[in-house]
């Protein structure tokens, strides 16, 4: 009787807890309220049908440029939601159900897992508390805020762990089949976007279960079951696993570069890891306290959990608990990182493993696995404690534990965590009830006929859209227009990729004509404007922080700004939502034939040049900023070249360079026995770096700077040789020690050796650059970058030596001299000759024979004026009067037909104005001041302010050349150049800071670039403090005195000069007539008529080599793969016909652009029908003439021979990876039904 | 495997008369030695602001040697863990960002690792 009562309690209590947890979320929201926002949004709860059809079935992104996309892995889950929505109707209820399932299942299956591991009936209490600990543990509570689609792992991990545990205990394969089916429904959790959660949980969990089965249960593992399970899993996940695999292994894709390139592994991975690793505390993890958050005193009571665990180990020895503890410790090491330097170093080295960079945000990615194993271990430990405790204490302890867990979970229970105020908003809640006006606007957007992109205003920074709800809350997340209306929408500045700066600049300059042209080139036809004041005025900062510096400050001004754009209003909904249309003359259709193809040698940042040069809008430019070799198969109507000064330009570019690696963080002292191994690793890395690699200089400097970082961190423990005259001499005598010598005699633990190693790394780098670099201008630029880095290193090293606590003054002087001599040696080697600005040669090399026009930016001409400069070309000097002006250009009447391979184009500046001349010195020091010369003498510390002078006409983002001669008579002075915007809120930016030291007159020259918003610039000379030991280095006593002469600050002219080779003028009558039909976002049928000669076809979607142009009438008979594809296509066609998917595209309307030369058939999207297979195994044409244009789009240069000289034909533009998706999706569905059949079979067999 | 080799070496050493004598002496001084070790760790946590792997792993190596030579049970290791947890919690309650609390937690984790392996072998 007692037993029966106990047994009922065992099943009832957890069940009641589970039911309570399920209903908790129903109290979070009012009826009709939803929280839909977040990074990946939860719009699929609101309208799963639209989400499935617009965003989950295709391999092309539904937003912005339409790049390749991984959202198709969500398809089964969204389909599952479609079914649930059909039952529950209300999205609000659906959300609550899902939250409820997550909470209750997470608890229930953790409870069951602990119970199974304990294998004793009286453990329900410990298991229940373990389950509650998993669900409510403070470190994971933040996960409930704006949950991602992959957050289902919170209950899937315990669920699958439990099912696998049951399998290993019973050998009943049905558990494996159920696991496989679950993984299909929740496939987003087994896709690449959930990789960190998968790899942090499943490998360790499965290993745990295998060891548990073999060592503790002493049962056999049935290999054939495991193999079958793996096959079924791979088969059921094929639709995304195999498709993503093709991306992973194709070089050039984003995912490939993240996994395999040095940039992905170290820059994005390791450097991020290194930045957060010092902040993660082992003590917080042990006591289950959230990291990097304010700790309330109440949370500190969680120390009770590790206490119970340790006491349990003292009380009883249990193998299962020991095994759990081992896995708990492994996960603890991974989630903490910062447990001893050795582990941190091993952890860092794991980042060289391809793919490990997914753990860059390691704590968040391991914490769920950690909490799960913590709960398992704690449940077992508590069970031991409960066994030994007296009944009263037992219930007292469990009651206490339940209370503290529940109290810490109050934010979840009360729903505060889901009902948060949106970040940086003025009290706008993240929960909203949908406004019917918005639903009408969304429906209108869905119905818009032109296949074009949309610009959503107000524009945000990161690509979020904000929609106000009726209850005063708001949605903040990815664009609803993209994900629910199926129009590729630009909702944020960041989504414009390379165009984002230009767009803001054009708005800032109020150059709306050029802005509209640019929007047209980006295939934007519609502008959606949400005028609700809540969504803009109540968000003073995020997500508008950056764009608001240029775009209107409030909704009232926004309305005025839109009026100034002169767009055509086509819809207004309740004076809240507006839709505007960009006039056709600006618009470039989604698929188009261009009448002018242009080759341009400059980057996308200079798209302003073609935008202002071409009046019509059906042109396309192939940008070529990285000096890629030109594809000889392509022919362009025009050749556009931006010409720069050959010497000055690389230096200017290099002066703006910043290293991606930052200053190094070091973990090991030179005295450590591990250090010699690090030396070997770094030596190998340096040897494997090639000067041809983009990262060569930055990485080498980074490794050299580690020597300085080591001295900064470990300098006090570093020894001194003490008798080295010069690092160059030490280089001759000091040999790399053997490993044993290095370990036992700490051969690297000397200041001078660190100097020497720095000297060798930098010396070798300069040698290799001089030897291996072909281009002279690159050598100059590289040297300039190195020189700038060395100047910073020099300052750092001098500071470290001076601030060292363990060095005597004499030792400091000795080290200062050594380091100064070393840097002087490099300064001599890196002499970068900055040319004078009064005679610059803008040369254009390798011009082909032809006619040219030369354009100069009108703003430049106006700035320098008639007297400022002269232009000569081919020996003829042109006067400004002879220029003709077109829009924003001055045109030189210049044509050249010679066959010379080099043509000079010279701009000569008569006398660039010295910006120092109109200003005067300010000083409190004893001084002698002239207009461009000054002498200051400083006698005591109190008056060390120095002298300051304003630089006239200081402009933002502009380069200046500063030059002067100086003599400091052995004392150390400093030059600082700083600027500010003149506004009180902005800080001053130091743009140059350098020490000056000399006995003789020295010439100083440097290039500097002003800050983004600066309008005032200052130059400041000041003395280093007397405490500066450097002052004692040579002269010792005496007054500090600096003499300066010939001071000049000159703005570096950067004229935009473009040569335009005029080819055969394209004639509209020669252009073919194109009609395109959109089948779906991955397929377009293009009908071309009236073909007389070669033309360029453009698809205005993100460039991707997998977009192919297929001739449906031509079977590819040369390749076996094409034959197989045709066979699969035929099978597919039969299957689709049998399923009755016969829907054909019905033309509803025909839209005409460019006077009918480009037409669009308006149709509805069709995901699959018999025609889907028309292109399978057919020949793709112009594959090698597929190239990117306009900075993002796809273009094909098609010659008559590509289509056997036909004058009319039909082509299909298709994203070929979509075909893989069809094949593997079919395979996955088959495996799903097969697995289902296996389950039924196993059930009926038992019966 | 490595642990087996170590214990075999120790067993062989035990046969040596001089080593036997030394071991006997060590066993007599067991409490003193372990107290010194614990005090040393306490000193490192509370008085030293930096952490050194050399020191940490030297102490842990000595403790592992003690486990074999002085026949220390896993229970004792867990008592050390409890002691370290007490230090960590005591400091943590007053200042959750204190370096000493973090150092104590790291010592605790390392001793916990030893304790778990020890108990598994027992």
pLDDT digits 0-9 by tens, A64-91: 999 988 889 999 999 999 999 999 889 9
What is the reported pLDDT for A1036? 47
Chain A residues at the B interface, defined by Cβ less than 8 Å, are 281-284, 286-287, 289, 295, 300, 303, 306-307, 310-311, 313-314, 317, 319, 322, 325-326, 329, 332-333, 339-342, 672-674
**Quick one: DSSP state of residue A716?**
G
Task: Specify which residues A1060 forms β-bridges with.
Answer: A640, A853
Residue A782 has pLDDT above 70, yes or no: yes
Residue A1145 has pLDDT above 80, yes or no: no
> Which residues of B fall within a CB distance of 8 Å from A670?
none
How far does the CA of residue B21 sit from the closest CA of chain A (Å)? 31
What is the reported pLDDT for A601? 84
Mean pLDDT value across residues A306-324 = 94
Helix (H, G, I), strand (E, B) or coil at A147: coil
> Strand A921-923 to strand A876-878: parallel, antiparallel, or no bridges (unpaired)?
unpaired
A39 vs B89: CA distance, rounded Å: 37
| Residue A1137 φ then ψ, to 5° | -65, -40
- The residues, any chain, with a CB within 8 Å of residue A742's CB and separated by 6 or more, are A675, A676, A679, A748
What is the reported pLDDT for A942? 46
Mean pLDDT value across residues A250-273 = 73
Q: Read off the pLDDT of residues A1221-1238 as tens digits, 9 standing for 90 and up.
A: 999 999 999 999 999 999
Q: Read off the pLDDT of residues A719-729 as tens digits, 9 standing for 90 and up.
A: 999 888 899 99
> From the CB of residue A466, how many other CB atoms can be counted at a distance below 10 Å?
25
What is the reported pLDDT for A673? 80
Residue A432: pLDDT band with limits 50, 70, 90: very high
Task: Specify which residues A1127 forms β-bridges with.
Answer: none
Residue A845 has pLDDT above 70, yes or no: no
How far does the CA of residue A311 sit from the closest CA of chain B (Å)? 8
Residue A357 has pLDDT above 50, yes or no: yes
How far does the CA of residue A118 sit from the closest CA of chain B (Å)? 17
> Which residues of A fall within a CB distance of 8 Å from B119?
313, 317, 322
What is the reported pLDDT for A540? 93
Alpha helices in A389-425 (DSSP H): 391-408, 410-413
Angle at A1189 between CA A1187 and CA A1194, to 5 degrees: 55
Q: Read off the pLDDT of residues A1032-1064 as tens digits, 9 standing for 90 and up.
A: 665 445 677 888 888 899 888 888 888 887 665
- Contact state of B116 with A300 under an 8 Å Cβ cutoff: no
CA-wise closest residue to A470 among A443, A445, A442, A437? A437
Residue A5 tokens read as: 């009562």
**Quick one: DSSP state of residue A586?**
G
What is the reported pLDDT for A1028? 60
Residue whose structure tokens are 């003829």? A876
What is the reported pLDDT for A1212? 96
> From the CB of residue B18, how many other CB atoms can be counted at a distance below 10 Å?
8
Between A1064 and A1148, the higher pLDDT residue: A1148
Chain B interface mutation, best of A313, A329, A715, A744, highest count of B Cβ atoms under 10 Å: A313
Residue A566 tokens read as: 């002169």
Which of the residue ranges A137-141, A946-950, B49-53, B99-103 would you say has the lowest mean pLDDT?
Answer: B49-53
Residue A582: pLDDT band with limits 50, 70, 90: very high
CA-wise closest residue to A1212 among A1076, A1025, A1019? A1076
What is the reported pLDDT for A272? 84
Chain B residues at the A interface, defined by Cβ less than 8 Å, are 51, 53-54, 56-57, 74-75, 78-79, 81-82, 85, 88-89, 92-93, 96, 101-102, 104-106, 108-110, 112-113, 115-116, 119-120, 122
What is the reported pLDDT for A926? 62
Mean pLDDT value across residues A216-237 = 94
- The residues, any chain, with a CB within 8 Å of residue B21's CB and separated by 6 or more, are none
Reduce the secondary structure of A217-259 to three states and give it as a string.
HCCCCCHHHHHHHHHHHHHHCHHHHHHHHHHHCCCCCHHHHHH
How far does the CA of residue A485 sit from the closest CA of chain B (Å)? 49
CA-wise closest residue to A849 among A1022, A1119, A639? A639
Residue A1119 has pLDDT above 70, yes or no: yes
Most confident of the ranges A20-24, A65-69, A1111-1115: A20-24
What is the reported pLDDT for A819? 92
| Residue A1096 φ then ψ, to 5° | -115, 125
Residue A1246: pLDDT band with limits 50, 70, 90: low
Rounded mean pLDDT of chain A? Answer: 87
What is the reported pLDDT for A417? 81
Residue whose structure tokens are 């350098």? A994
- Contact state of B85 with A332 under an 8 Å Cβ cutoff: no
Outline where DSSP puts E strands in A97-142: none
What is the reported pLDDT for A246? 77
What is the reported pLDDT for A53? 93
Query: Which residue does chain A place closest to B56, by CA atoms?
Result: A340
Mean pLDDT value across residues A1135-1146 = 79
Between A380 and B1, the higher pLDDT residue: A380
What is the reported pLDDT for A853? 80
DSSP secondary structure letters along A904-969: EEEEEES-PPBTTTT--EEESSEEEE-SS-EEEEE-SGGG---EEEEETT--TT-EEEEEEEEE-T
Q: Read off the pLDDT of residues A966-1021 as tens digits, 9 standing for 90 and up.
A: 988 777 788 899 998 776 656 788 888 888 878 788 888 888 888 887 889 999 98
- Contact state of B78 with A313 under an 8 Å Cβ cutoff: yes
A23 vs A759: CA distance, rounded Å: 68
What is the reported pLDDT for A757? 94
Which of the residue ranges A96-110, A167-181, A394-408, A686-700 would you say has the lowest mean pLDDT?
Answer: A686-700
Count, residues in chain B: 122
Query: Which residue does chain A place closest to B96, by CA atoms?
Result: A295
- Contact state of A300 with B93 under an 8 Å Cβ cutoff: yes
Residue ranges of chain B with pLDDT lower than 70?
Answer: 1-7, 10, 13-15
Count, residues in chain A: 1247
Residue A454: pLDDT band with limits 50, 70, 90: very high
> Which residues of B fall within a CB distance of 8 Å from A282?
102, 105-106, 109
- Contact state of A314 with B93 under an 8 Å Cβ cutoff: no
How far does the CA of residue B122 sit from the closest CA of chain A (Å)? 9
Contact call for residues A905 and A911 (beta carbons, < 8 A): no
- Contact state of B96 with A300 under an 8 Å Cβ cutoff: yes
| Residue A1083 φ then ψ, to 5° | -150, 130
Residue A365 tokens read as: 């990615």
> Strand A934-938 to strand A947-951: parallel, antiparallel, or no bridges (unpaired)?
unpaired
Residue A649 has pLDDT above 80, yes or no: no
Partner residue opposite B105 with nearest CB, options A282, A317, A333: A282
> Which residues of B fall within a CB distance of 8 Å from A287?
89, 92
What is the reported pLDDT for A1064? 54
> Which residues of A fall within a CB distance of 8 Å from B80?
none
Chain A interface mutation, best of B98, B110, B119, highest count of A Cβ atoms under 10 Å: B119
> Which residues of A fall within a CB distance of 8 Å from B60?
none
DSSP secondary structure letters along B40-93: HHHHHHHH-SS--HHHHHHHHHHHHHHHHHTT--HHHHHHHHHHHHHHHHHHHH
């Amino acid at each position: 009787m007692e037993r029966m009562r106990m047994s009922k309690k065992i099943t009832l209590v957890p069940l009641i807890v589970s039911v309570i947890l399920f209903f908790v979320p129903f109290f979070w929201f009012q009826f009709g309220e939803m929280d839909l926002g977040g990074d990946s949004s939860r719009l699929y709860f609101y309208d799963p049908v639209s989400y499935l059809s617009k965003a989950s079935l295709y391999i092309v992104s539904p937003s912005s440029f339409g790049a390749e996309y991984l959202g198709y892995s969500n398809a089964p889950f969204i389909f599952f939601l479609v079914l649930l929505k059909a039952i529950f109707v209300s999205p609000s209820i659906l959300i609550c159900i899902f939250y409820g399932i997550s909470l209750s299942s997470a608890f229930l299956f953790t409870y069951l897992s602990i119970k199974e591991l304990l294998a004793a009936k009286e453990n329900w209490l410990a298991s229940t508390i373990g389950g509650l600990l998993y669900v409510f543990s403070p470190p994971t509570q933040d996960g409930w805020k704006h949950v991602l689609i992959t957050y289902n792992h919170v209950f899937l991990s315990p669920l699958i762990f439990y099912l696998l545990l049951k399998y290993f205990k019973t050998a009943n394969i049905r558990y494996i089949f159920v696991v496989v089916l679950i993984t299909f429904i929740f496939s987003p959790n087994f896709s690449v976007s959930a990789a960190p959660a998968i790899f942090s949980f499943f490998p360790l969990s499965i290993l745990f279960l295998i060891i548990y089965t073999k060592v503790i249960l002493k049962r056999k593992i049935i290999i054939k079951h495991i193999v079958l399970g793996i096959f079924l899993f791979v088969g059921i996940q094929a639709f995304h696993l195999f498709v993503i695999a093709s991306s992973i292994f194709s070089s050039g894709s984003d995912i490939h570069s993240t996994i395999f390139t040095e940039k992905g592994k170290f820059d994005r991975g390791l450097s991020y890891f290194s930045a957060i690793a010092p902040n993660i505390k082992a003590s917080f993890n042990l006591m289950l306290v959230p990291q990097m958050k304010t700790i309330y005193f109440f949370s500190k009571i969680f120390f009770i959990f590790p206490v119970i665990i340790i006491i349990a180990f003292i009380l009883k020895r249990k193998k299962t608990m020991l095994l759990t503890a081992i896995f708990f410790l492994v996960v603890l090491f991974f989630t903490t990182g910062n447990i001893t330097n050795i582990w941190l170093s091993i952890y860092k080295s794991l980042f060289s493993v391809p793919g490990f960079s997914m753990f860059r945000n390691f704590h968040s990615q391991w914490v769920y696995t950690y909490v799960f194993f913590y709960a398992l271990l704690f449940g077992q430990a508590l069970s031991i404690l409960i066994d030994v405790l007296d009944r009263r204490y037992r219930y007292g302890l469990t009651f206490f534990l339940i209370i503290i867990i529940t109290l810490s979970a109050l934010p979840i229970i009360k729903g505060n965590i889901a009902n948060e105020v949106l970040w940086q908003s003025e009290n706008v809640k993240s929960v909203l009830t949908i406004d019917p006006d918005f639903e009408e606007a969304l429906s209108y957007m869905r119905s818009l006929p032109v296949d074009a992109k949309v610009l959503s205003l107000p524009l945000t920074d990161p690509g979020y859209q904000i929609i106000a709800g009726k209850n005063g809350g708001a949605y903040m997340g990815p664009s609803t227009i993209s994900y629910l209306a199926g129009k590729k929408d630009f909702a944020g500045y960041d989504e414009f990729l390379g165009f984002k700066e230009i767009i803001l600049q054009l708005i800032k300059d109020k150059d709306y004509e050029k802005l509209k042209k640019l929007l047209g080139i980006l295939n934007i036809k519609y502008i959606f404007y949400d005028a609700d004041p809540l969504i803009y005025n109540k968000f003073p900062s995020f997500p508008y922080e950056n764009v608001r510096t240029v775009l209107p400050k409030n909704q009232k001004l926004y309305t005025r700004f839109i009026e100034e754009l002169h767009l055509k209003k086509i819809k207004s909904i309740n004076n809240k939502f507006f839709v505007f249309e960009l006039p056709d003359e600006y618009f470039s259709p989604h698929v188009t034939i261009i009448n002018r193809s242009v080759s341009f040698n400059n980057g996308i940042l200079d798209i302003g040049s073609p935008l202002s040069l071409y009046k019509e809008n059906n042109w396309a430019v192939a940008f070529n900023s990285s000096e890629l070799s030109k594809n000889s198969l392509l022919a362009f109507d025009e050749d556009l070249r931006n010409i720069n000064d050959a010497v000055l330009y690389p230096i200017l570019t290099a002066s703006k360079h910043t290293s991606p690696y930052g200053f190094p963080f070091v973990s090991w002292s030179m005295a450590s026995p591990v250090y010699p191994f690090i030396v070997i690793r770094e030596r190998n890395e340096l040897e494997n770096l090639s000067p041809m690699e983009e990262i060569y200089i930055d990485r080498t400097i980074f490794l050299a700077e580690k020597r300085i970082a080591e001295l900064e961190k470990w300098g006090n423990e570093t020894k001194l040789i003490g008798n080295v005259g010069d690092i160059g001499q030490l280089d001759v005598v000091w040999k790399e020690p053997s490993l044993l010598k290095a370990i036992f005699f700490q051969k690297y633990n000397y200041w001078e050796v660190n100097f020497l190693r720095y000297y060798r790394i930098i010396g070798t780098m300069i040698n290799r650059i001089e030897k291996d670099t072909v281009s002279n201008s690159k050598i100059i630029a590289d040297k300039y970058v190195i020189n700038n880095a060395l100047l910073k290193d020099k300052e750092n090293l001098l500071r470290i030596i001076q601030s060292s606590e363990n060095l005597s003054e004499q030792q400091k002087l000795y080290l200062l001299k050594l380091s100064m001599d070393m840097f002087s040696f490099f300064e001599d080697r890196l002499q970068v000759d900055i040319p004078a600005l009064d005679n610059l040669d803008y040369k254009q090399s390798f011009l082909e024979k032809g006619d040219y026009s030369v354009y100069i930016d009108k703003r430049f001409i106006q700035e320098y004026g008639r007297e400022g400069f002269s232009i000569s070309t081919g020996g003829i000097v042109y006067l400004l009067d002879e220029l003709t002006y077109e829009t924003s250009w001055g045109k030189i009447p210049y044509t050249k037909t010679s066959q010379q391979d080099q043509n000079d184009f010279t701009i000569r500046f008569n006398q660039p104005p010295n910006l120092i001349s109109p200003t005067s010195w300010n000083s409190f020091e004893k001084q002698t001041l002239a207009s461009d010369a000054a002498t200051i003498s400083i006698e005591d510390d109190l008056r060390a302010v120095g002298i300051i002078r304003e630089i006239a006409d200081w402009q933002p983002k502009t380069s200046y050349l500063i030059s002067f001669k100086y003599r400091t008579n052995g004392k150390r002075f400093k030059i600082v150049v700083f600027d500010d915007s003149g506004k009180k809120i902005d800080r001053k930016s130091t743009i140059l800071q350098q020490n000056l030291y000399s006995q003789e007159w020295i010439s100083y020259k440097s290039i500097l670039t002003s800050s983004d918003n600066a309008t005032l610039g200052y130059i400041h000379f000041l003395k280093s403090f007397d405490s500066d030991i450097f002052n004692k280095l040579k002269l010792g006593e005496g007054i500090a005195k600096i003499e300066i002469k010939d001071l000049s600050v000159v703005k570096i002219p950067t004229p935009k000069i473009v040569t335009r080779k005029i080819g055969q003028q394209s004639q509209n009558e020669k252009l073919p007539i194109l009609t395109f039909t959109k089948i779906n976002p991955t397929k377009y049928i293009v009908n071309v008529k009236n073909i007389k000669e070669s033309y360029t076809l453009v698809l205005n979607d993100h460039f991707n080599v997998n977009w192919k142009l297929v001739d449906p009438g031509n079977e590819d008979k040369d390749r076996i793969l094409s034959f197989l594809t045709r066979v699969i296509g035929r099978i597919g066609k039969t299957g689709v016909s049998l399923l009755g998917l016969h829907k054909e595209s019905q033309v509803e309307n025909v839209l005409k652009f460019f006077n009918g030369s480009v037409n669009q058939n308006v149709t509805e999207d069709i995901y699959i029908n018999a025609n889907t297979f028309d292109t399978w195994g057919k020949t793709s044409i112009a594959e090698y003439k597929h190239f990117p244009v306009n900075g993002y789009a796809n273009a094909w240069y098609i010659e008559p021979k590509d289509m056997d000289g036909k004058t009319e034909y039909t082509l299909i533009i298709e994203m070929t990876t979509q075909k893989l998706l069809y094949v593997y999706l079919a395979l996955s569905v088959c495996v799903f039904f097969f697995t289902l059949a296996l389950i039924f079979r196993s059930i009926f067999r038992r019966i | 495997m490595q642990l087996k080799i170590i214990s075999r070496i120790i067993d062989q050493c035990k046969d040596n008369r001089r080593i036997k004598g030394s071991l006997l002496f060590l066993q007599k001084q067991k409490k003193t030695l372990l107290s010194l070790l614990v005090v040393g760790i306490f000193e490192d946590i509370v008085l030293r602001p930096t952490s050194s792997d050399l020191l940490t792993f030297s102490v842990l190596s000595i403790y592992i040697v003690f486990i074999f030579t002085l026949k220390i049970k896993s229970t004792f290791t867990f008592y050390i863990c409890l002691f370290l947890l007490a230090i960590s919690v005591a400091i943590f309650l007053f200042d959750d960002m204190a370096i000493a609390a973090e150092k104590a937690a790291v010592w605790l984790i390392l001793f916990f690792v030893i304790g778990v392996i020890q108990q598994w072998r027992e």
